């Protein structure tokens, strides 16, 4: 058992500075209780990866991370045979043909490592949408039965069910088969109230009044139709910037000067300046 109840999830995540709402606590709890992988989807910078790290930190489990990218294949995700060692063995011993496919020559990659781990493990499969469609097929066996079939060795069943978190930015639709096997958590931008608390938790020393103003301003920015809405991570950066600059008040001039921290497109900055009535940047 990973957690006893959603409330316990909230407390233990809060202890590692991750503030969760009802949606997060319930799905994190269910993922542990039902032993199902948790798929988190949402815009960049809302704490999807951070959630997996927080779960690992809160439970004291080992975090194994598989970063997905285009062209990721079996050899880098699952396992690989150590060709060099196998060749050397064959050259050294002519009768070795039969035993070059054994444990000794197996190179563990993140998925296999997570399956074979004896200690509690959180497996983070990051940015699943970046990988090719074939990789999803590869994941299906692992995610539904927690086992891996290696033709030469047979099926390896998980010693201990890992806690699996998948993240996706929704740059493409993940396959129905994958979604069906997972619990789904859509992480979106938080309410101003929650964002204020997050900023306060992440940036110690920031006055509460500034955090409040920041959260409200960022909420106002997100309503505008921007190319890239500011993420929580960027709000936190903004808070750190203000702290470093020693500002105690968030007025139009300060926002105008530091807007680059949260808005990274020129057209977005121009639009925000126009809509919110900020002084033009020199």
Which positions touch another protein (CB under 8 A)?
Answer: 5-6, 22-23, 25-27, 29-30, 33-34, 36, 39, 41, 70, 83-84, 87, 91, 132, 170-173, 176, 179-180, 182-186, 188, 191-193, 216-217, 219-220, 223, 225, 227, 251-252, 255, 265-267, 270-271, 275-278
Which residue, 117 or 167, has its beta carbon nearer to another protein? 167
- Minimum distance, C-beta of residue 43 to another protein, in the bound complex (Å): 9
Which residue, 147 or 266, has its beta carbon nearer to another protein? 266
- Minimum distance, C-beta of residue 222 to another protein, in the bound complex (Å): 10
- Minimum distance, C-beta of residue 37 to another protein, in the bound complex (Å): 12
- Minimum distance, C-beta of residue 235 to another protein, in the bound complex (Å): 14
Do residues 281 and 273 lie in contact, with contact meaning Cβ atoms separated by under 8 Å?
yes
Would you state the structure tokens that stand for residue 71, as one six-digit string? 């062209």
Distance from C-alpha of 74 to C-alpha of 252, rounded to nearest angstrom: 52
Do residues 255 and 278 lie in contact, with contact meaning Cβ atoms separated by under 8 Å?
yes
Distance from C-alpha of 66 to C-alpha of 124, rounded to nearest angstrom: 6
Which residue, 186 or 281, has its beta carbon nearer to another protein? 186
Distance from C-alpha of 260 to C-alpha of 278, rounded to nearest angstrom: 13
Which residue, 6 or 162, has its beta carbon nearer to another protein? 6
- Minimum distance, C-beta of residue 225 to another protein, in the bound complex (Å): 6
Which residue, 34 or 159, has its beta carbon nearer to another protein? 34
Q: Please state the φ and ψ torsions of residue 186, each to the nearest 5 degrees.
A: -95, 115
Distance from C-alpha of 144 to C-alpha of 36, rounded to nearest angstrom: 8
Which residue, 151 or 277, has its beta carbon nearer to another protein? 277
E strand residue ranges, the chain: 38-41, 62-67, 79-81, 106-108, 121-126, 147-150, 154-157, 163-168, 183-186
Distance from C-alpha of 25 to C-alpha of 30, rounded to nearest angstrom: 8
Do residues 14 and 8 lie in contact, with contact meaning Cβ atoms separated by under 8 Å?
no
- Minimum distance, C-beta of residue 41 to another protein, in the bound complex (Å): 7
């Amino acid at each position: 058992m990973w957690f006893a109840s959603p409330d316990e999830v909230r407390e233990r995540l809060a202890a590692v500075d991750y503030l969760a709402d009802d949606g997060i606590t319930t799905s994190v709890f269910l993922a542990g209780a039902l032993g199902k992988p948790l798929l988190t989807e949402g815009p960049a910078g809302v704490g999807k990866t951070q959630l997996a790290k927080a779960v690992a930190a809160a439970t004291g489990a080992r975090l194994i991370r598989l970063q997905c990218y285009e062209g990721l294949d079996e050899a880098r995700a699952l396992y690989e045979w150590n060709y060099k060692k196998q060749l050397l063995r064959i050259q050294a011993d002519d009768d070795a043909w039969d035993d070059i496919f054994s444990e000794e020559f197996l190179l563990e990659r993140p998925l296999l490592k997570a399956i074979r781990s004896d200690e509690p493990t959180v497996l983070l499969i990051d940015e699943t949408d970046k990988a090719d469609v074939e990789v999803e097929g590869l994941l299906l066996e692992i995610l539904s039965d927690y086992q891996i079939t290696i033709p030469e060795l047979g099926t390896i069943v998980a010693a201990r069910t890992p806690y699996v978190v998948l993240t996706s930015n929704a740059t493409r639709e993940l396959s129905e088969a994958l979604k069906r096997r997972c619990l789904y958590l859509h992480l979106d931008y938080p309410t101003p109230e929650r964002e204020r608390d997050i900023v306060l938790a992440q940036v110690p020393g920031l006055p509460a009044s500034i955090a409040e103003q920041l959260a409200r301003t960022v909420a106002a920015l997100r309503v505008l139709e921007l190319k890239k809405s500011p993420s929580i991570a960027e709000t936190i950066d903004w808070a750190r910037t203000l702290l470093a600059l020693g500002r105690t008040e968030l007025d139009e001039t300060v926002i105008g000067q530091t807007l680059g921290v949260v808005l990274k497109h020129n057209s977005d900055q121009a639009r925000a300046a126009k809509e919110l009535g900020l002084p033009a940047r020199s």
